Amino acid sequence: TGHLDRPPLPGTSDSTPLADPGSTADAVAALASSGYANQAAGALEWLKKNAGPWAAENGPAAYAQLIFAAHTTGTDPRNFGGLDLVRLLNATGPAPTPVPSITAQPVAEIRSGGLGGTGFGILWVIGIGLAAGVAIGYLLSNRGRAGQHQQL
């Protein structure tokens, strides 16, 4: 049949199994990502023909499942059985905002020796830290020798 079934709803007299597009999409993604995309081809085609109304009814998570199934099989999610899944997913929530670009200003500041505009270069900070470490090490190593005389 090209899809997975879910059991009939409890309490109904109809015992006909119902199609389960969500589990089918998950199975397609799992098979394709494991290297068995050829075995998922029939289910993928079924999803392209039948999953649109299910996704519209179930919202963003359903669109995301279908996009993931499309991606793992190399199918264009912008033309999934005639549906643009990405556009439909974006329509369910706030409009996506572009990611701000990273500027080269901080890199240039580091190269010029600036550290947050304080006037100290990064090398000065490292040098002061090393000098403090040497001084502490010298004091600690000589603290037990205060009353001892060295023999020549």
SS3 95: coil
pTM above 0.75? no
CA distance 20 to 27: 11
pLDDT-derived band of residue 141, with 50, 70 and 90 as boundaries? confident
Residue 17's pLDDT is: 83
Q: Which residues contact 114 (CB under 8 A, 6 or more apart)?
A: 121
104-118 tens-digit pLDDT? 555 555 555 554 555
Q: How many CA atoms lie within 13 A of 69 on its CB side?
A: 29
